[in-house]
Structure 1
Amino acid sequence: MSNNAAETTIGAVVLAVAIGFMIFAARSADISTASTYELTAQFRKADGVNVGGDVRIAGVKVGSVRAMTLNPETFQAEVRMALRRDVMVPDDSAATIASDGLLGGAHIAIQPGGSEFMIEPGGAFTITQGSINLLDLVGRAITGGGE
């Protein structure tokens, strides 16, 4: 009978730790939609960006990528991102795709503009720069830069 009590106690402790970890992870990930607003940006190339990836300003995470789709009219990658409500972005800001390193990962980097007007929630960036493929650059340098 004492084995059953010990197993039950250990099981309860493990379950409590798991629930605590889930609560911590949910708060750390900032998955609450009430604390975010959505912006969109269109890029000619969005290589390396993934759903759930970071959106950063000055290297600080301020949001995450919610969805990526192909715009059937422009044939550009349309990226929806969720930003923290306390971070409003000037309407002349640029959204660029920045490399995380040589291995191919990327994030959205926002370069704030100087406008006093902000992009409204649900709005879109008008200035964007897509990803730059390092292998393409090396190939162009070797071949003389021609198309």
Structure 2
Amino acid sequence: MAYERAEIAAGAAVMVVAAGFFLYAANGAGFAREAGTYPLTASFRSVEGITVGSDVRLAGVKVGSITDLTLNPQTFFADARIELQDTIQLPTDSAILISSEGLLGGNFVEIIPGGALENLEPGAEIEDTQGAVSLITLLMKFVGGDSADETANP
């Protein structure tokens, strides 16, 4: 009888730990909506290096995260859904771009606030976007040279 109680207690403890891991993973993956946030959308040419759960930063400070990435079949752009803190009110002419933390660092989404007097409403789209820049493509252009540069400087 004592063994049965011990087995039941051990099984219950395993279930509680498993539920905790599941909730932690769901929150990290962006499935759970954070309290005090509102949604925005943006459409990028390329979201290379960005996944659901990636940071959205303003002046280097995390102010939100990416909660969904889908391919738009009409435009062939990647549509991103962003959850931003309620305390951050962005002007309508704000820009959003994919930045890198350096050569070996990861990518994140950076917001550059505009100067308009009106603010983006929840669910609005940030229209001024810049997609990810491939480091390999830049290196190939640098190493291989560009024919436009050769004609401009004979």
**Which consecutive unaligned segments of at least 5 residues does structure 2 have?**
1-7, 149-154
Structure 1 residue 144, shift from structure 2 partner: 1.0
Q: Percent identity?
A: 45
The DSSP-based 3-state class of the residue aligned with 1:136 is: helix
Question: What number of residue pairs does the alignment pair up?
Answer: 146
The CA distance in 1 between the partners of 2:87 and 2:136, in whole Å, is 38
The CA distance in 2 between the partners of 1:17 and 1:133, in whole Å, is 40
* Residues 1:113 and 2:123 aligned together: no
The CA distance in 2 between the partners of 1:13 and 1:77, in whole Å, is 42
Q: What's the CA shift string for 1:15-42, capped at 9, x where partnerless?
A: 999999999x69x979544411110111
Root-mean-square deviation (CA), in Å? 2.9
Structure 1 residue 106, shift from structure 2 partner: 1.1
Distance change in 2, residues 1:93/1:115 (3 Å)? same
TM-score, normalised via structure 1 length: 0.78
Decide whether the 8 Å contact of 1:89 with 1:112 is kept in 2. Answer: yes
Distance change in 2, residues 1:75/1:22 (3 Å)? closer
Decide whether the 8 Å contact of 1:48 with 1:104 is kept in 2. Answer: no
Segment of structure 1 superposing worse, 99-108 or 55-64: 99-108
* Residues 1:74 and 2:104 aligned together: no
Distance change in 2, residues 1:74/1:15 (3 Å)? closer
**Which consecutive unaligned segments of at least 5 residues does structure 1 have?**
1-7
The DSSP-based 3-state class of the residue aligned with 2:138 is: helix
Please name the residue that 2:87 is paired with.
86
Decide whether the 8 Å contact of 1:140 with 1:146 is kept in 2. Answer: no
The CA distance in 2 between the partners of 1:105 and 1:42, in whole Å, is 20
Moved over 3 A (4+): 8-23, 28-34
Q: What's the CA shift string for 1:70-126, capped at 9, x where partnerless?
A: 111110011111011111111100000001332462111000001111111000011
The DSSP-based 3-state class of the residue aligned with 2:116 is: coil
Q: Which amino acid aligns with 2:65?
A: S
Structure 1 residue 56, shift from structure 2 partner: 0.5
Equivalence map 1:1-147=2 (5 Å): 31-103=32-104, 105-145=106-146
The DSSP-based 3-state class of the residue aligned with 1:69 is: strand
TM-score, normalised via structure 2 length: 0.75
